[in-house]
Structure 1
């Protein structure tokens, strides 16, 4: 039988704390979502000033990264590159800002961030991932 890595509550809190520090250092009002490898929400943090729609978008980015098993930026680039059929994909969150948490070559969970420019969302998410990586 195979085993798989998973995020603990300690991991989730470390990711949220590190991502929050990155956002606050840069003055960015974002929402950070952490999900398990199936895209189910484990933690959510909406920073002061983040728009009311950001929790939903961050959660969907985390879910899309889990189900797609890759950075959601890949999906956004495919759509922007003319692969318009991806717009009808059965999931939301196909925008930059969803990043998988990898362990032993497997997705252990994901981080989704919403609230600033796409590359800034990614920067915040990657800071969170780096906290446990």
Structure 2
């Protein structure tokens, strides 16, 4: 039995800056001031930017959304129902002493099928934040 292992390039600072720029550009077209956070696969901050006009809490929500998407390897938009009463993760937000946030706007970043980080966007409506983050991930080469 032969197994082949291959390395996947990690999310770089240049990648993170590209994600921030793409998400901010999408938000700007929509006229929304946002904050954008990019984390690497270990949950470490690679890039962060909050527009001058973005509400202050947008910085915190973008970071928590990115962290949640990373830890659960799923877009936060897909997890909203899971934390409602009776949902699979109903008690998860209070069971952990970690900054999870189950609001749309966090999206995991994959390369060659492997999780390499996550992006979170805060400042718009949840569906807008999700669209900005998703469009940024699609633009990452």
Question: What is the TM-score normalised by the length of structure 2?
Answer: 0.85
* Higher Rg: 2
2:65 match: 61
Count of aligned pairs between the two proteins: 133
SS in 2 for 1:4: coil
Task: Please point out which of 93, 108, 123 is paired with 2:101.
Answer: 93
* Structure 2 match to 1:108: 116
Residue 138 of structure 2 corresponds to: 130
Q: Partners in 2 of 1:81 and 1:103 — Cα distance?
A: 34
Aligned counterparts, 1:30-45, within 5 A: 30-45=34-49
Q: Which runs of 4+ in 1 moved over 6 A?
A: none
What is the CA deviation profile of residues 81-129 of structure 1, one whole-angstrom value per residue up to 9, with x for unaligned ones? Answer: 7423233242322221100111111111110011111110001101211
RMSD, matched Cα: 1.6
What residue number does 1:23 align with?
A: 27
Query: Structure 2 regions of 5+ residues with no counterpart?
Result: none
Kept after mapping to 2: 8 A contact 1:65/1:72: yes
TM-score for both structures, normalised by structure 1: 0.90
- 5+ residue gaps, structure 1, are none
**Cα distance in 1, alignment partners of residues 95 and 37 from structure 2:** 21
Post-superposition shift, 1:60? Answer: 1.0
